[in-house]
Structure formats: C-alpha cells, structure tokens
Amino acid sequence: MSAPPLPAGFRLQEGPWERLAPGARAVRQTVFVDEQAIAPALEWDDRDAIATHVLVTGADGAPCATGRLYAEAAPRVARIGRLAVCRPWRGIGLGAAVLAHLVERARRDGHAEAVLHAQSHARGFYAGRGFAVEGAEFIEDGIAHLRMRKALAGCR
C-alpha cells in the first residue's frame, strides 16, 4: 500500500536526527512537553540518535508534524514512535501521511512487523491504519497507552 498524498503545500522529509532535529524537536516540544506535559527527561532519549525521523513542514517552512522509527531488539520488528502533529494542522491528513511513510520505510528495511505504544485516545487513529491492540492498557510517562502491532506483508 502506498502512502496517502500529503495535502498541497506541505513537504515530507526523512532523515537522521542530525539533519531533522531542529524541526522535529520543535514539534515534539510543542505537542508532548508543552501540551501534554511530558517531562523533558522522558521525551528526549537516546533513541533519537539511532532512529530514522520524518518531518513535515508547511509552505513557509514551519515544522508541522514528525515521527520516528528504529529497529527493536527483537529481530525484524520496527518500533514507531513520537508521532505528533501540531494542533493547527491536525485533521488534514498529516498524521496519516507520517505514519504511512514510517510503515513503508519499515517494510522496505525488511521488517516483518511494526509495533508502537499508542496513547489510548489515539487508538482509533492507529486501528484505522491496520494496527491491532496487543495486551492490556498500561501507563507510560503518566499517560494511558496501548501496545499495537501491524504485520508488514509484501516484498521489500
């Protein structure tokens, strides 16, 4: 399945933290630290350095949405996380575009499955994109989460 098109005027980039950090950091600071009150010490971890990041910017270059992907310890399992869209740009398909891009990257990298820890309120967003809940709800960073998994069928 190919990724849904981005709304007109937006640009999606994929790259390492060294290149995308200024924009990705701005989105995550706004959404997770400022809006959701996640402690900075929990938000900024050592996975950023090894992850592949996605950043969506608007026509004026403003950072709008982000997400990341890295290999889990289990073989051929990709972990998706830190998916965030700044409030003014929610509901126009940016989150879906970032998630689809990360899933496609995981598939092309040869992963058999993608897993994520979804904030429980966003369960429907991920379920609509083929992720299934695995196990019971748990608290992470003070927020209710569900582990969700998607099989990545098809060839690389």
Q: Tell me which residues touch ligand COA (CB under 6 A).
A: 31, 83-85, 90-96, 118-119, 121-122, 124-125, 128
Question: Could you count the other beta carbons within 10 Å of the beta carbon of residue 122?
Answer: 15
CB of 156 to ligand COA, least distance (A): 26
In the complex with ligand COA, the residue whose CB is nearer, 108 or 121, is 121
In the complex with ligand COA, the residue whose CB is nearer, 22 or 91, is 91
In the complex with ligand COA, the residue whose CB is nearer, 110 or 128, is 128
In the complex with ligand COA, the residue whose CB is nearer, 93 or 130, is 93
Q: Is residue 80 within 8 Å of 69, Cβ to Cβ?
A: yes
Q: What angle do CA 74, 110, 98 make, to 5 degrees?
A: 95
CB of 71 to ligand COA, least distance (A): 19
In the complex with ligand COA, the residue whose CB is nearer, 148 or 152, is 148
CB of 46 to ligand COA, least distance (A): 19
CB of 93 to ligand COA, least distance (A): 4
CB of 155 to ligand COA, least distance (A): 26
By beta carbon distance, the residue nearest ligand COA is 95
User: Nearest 5°: phi and psi at 152?
Assistant: -105, 90
Q: Per-residue DSSP letters for 119-155? A: EGGGHHHHHTTT-EEEEEEEEETTEEEEEEEEE--S-
Q: How far apart are CA 103 and CA 113, in angstroms?
A: 9
What order of strands is seen across the sheet that includes strand 11-15? 11-15, 52-57, 63-71, 77-85, 113-119, 143-151, 132-140
